[in-house]
């Protein structure tokens, strides 16, 4: 392999892993309740469906008829009580109402104290994402340094690759900052 292809492969590998971190962080942030109804808040809740822990998104469809109301339409009407039970035992803090056909969740307005708590939690999740990206950077840097020790890369190429890796890292941490800013803005809206 040429020096250029070694560097390109290592950086592409790093980008791919960082992209997964961004996707994971975005899904983690989507689960925070902002006072608005969103299917992402309940999709991953596990429901005991005939003895199997099944994500709610596989058992029901979701609609948001109003900004603070989420309606869950079970595909199998027999799963209605199991879904309701799972929602009650989840950490949502919302009592579901069941009319025999669908389950409705009414999201209350967030108070100022709860908004501040949620912003702290959101920032913590964002920091976890940034740490994961920095860990990927460290792993790729060690890989590049190993190539240099093996004589596959020159010192100049290593320096150039490390600068490029730093640029990529800043790009991805910046994307997490954008996700955080967007989520904080959502939480602060009244």
53 and 96 both lie in a single domain: yes
Q: Tell me, yes or no, whether 59 and 20 share the same domain.
A: no
In tens, the pLDDT along 6-41 reads 889 999 999 999 999 999 999 888 777 666 777 877
Residues 122 and 63 reside in one and the same domain: no
Greatest extent of the chain over all pairs of C-alpha atoms, in Å: 70
Q: Is the pLDDT of residue 190 over 60?
A: no
Q: Which residues contact 19 (CB under 8 A, 6 or more apart)?
A: 172
Structural domain ending residue among the three candidates 76, 106, 136: 106
Q: Find where tokens 């190429």 sit.
A: 157
**Domain with 159 in it:** 3-31+111-188
What does the DSSP 8-state code read for residue 149?
H
Distance, in Å, from the CA atom of 74 to the CA atom of 58, rounded to the nearest integer, reads 9
Q: Using one digit for the tens of pLDDT, what is the confidence trace for 52-67? A: 898 888 989 998 888 7
Domain boundary among 57, 79, 106: 106
Residue 179: predicted pLDDT: 94
Total-model pTM: 0.68
Structural domain ending residue among the three candidates 106, 132, 156: 106
Closest by Cα among 148, 174, 176, 175 to 161: 148
Alpha helices in 64-154 (DSSP H): 80-89, 112-149
Task: State residue 141's pLDDT score.
Answer: 94
Write out pLDDT tens, residues 74-94: 998 888 889 888 888 877 777
Listed in sequence order, the DSSP H helices in the chain are 3-30, 80-89, 112-149, 155-188
């Amino acid at each position: 392999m040429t020096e250029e292809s070694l560097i390109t492969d290592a950086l592409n590998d790093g980008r791919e892993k960082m992209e997964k971190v961004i996707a994971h962080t975005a899904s983690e942030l989507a689960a925070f309740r902002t006072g608005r109804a969103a299917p992402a808040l309940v999709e991953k809740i596990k429901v005991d469906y005939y003895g199997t822990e099944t994500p709610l998104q596989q058992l029901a469809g979701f609609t948001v008829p109003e900004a603070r109301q989420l309606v869950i339409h079970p595909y199998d009407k027999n799963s209605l009580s199991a879904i309701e039970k799972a929602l009650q035992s989840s950490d949502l803090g919302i009592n579901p109402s069941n009319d025999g056909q669908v389950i409705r969740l009414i999201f209350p307005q967030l108070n100022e104290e709860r908004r501040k708590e949620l912003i702290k939690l959101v920032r913590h999740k964002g920091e976890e994402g940034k740490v994961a990206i920095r860990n990927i950077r460290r792993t790729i840097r060690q890989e590049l340094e190993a190539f240099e020790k093996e004589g596959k890369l020159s010192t100049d190429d290593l320096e150039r690759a490390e600068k490029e890796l730093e640029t990529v890292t800043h790009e991805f941490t910046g994307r997490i900052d954008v996700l955080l800013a967007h989520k904080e803005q959502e939480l602060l809206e009244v």
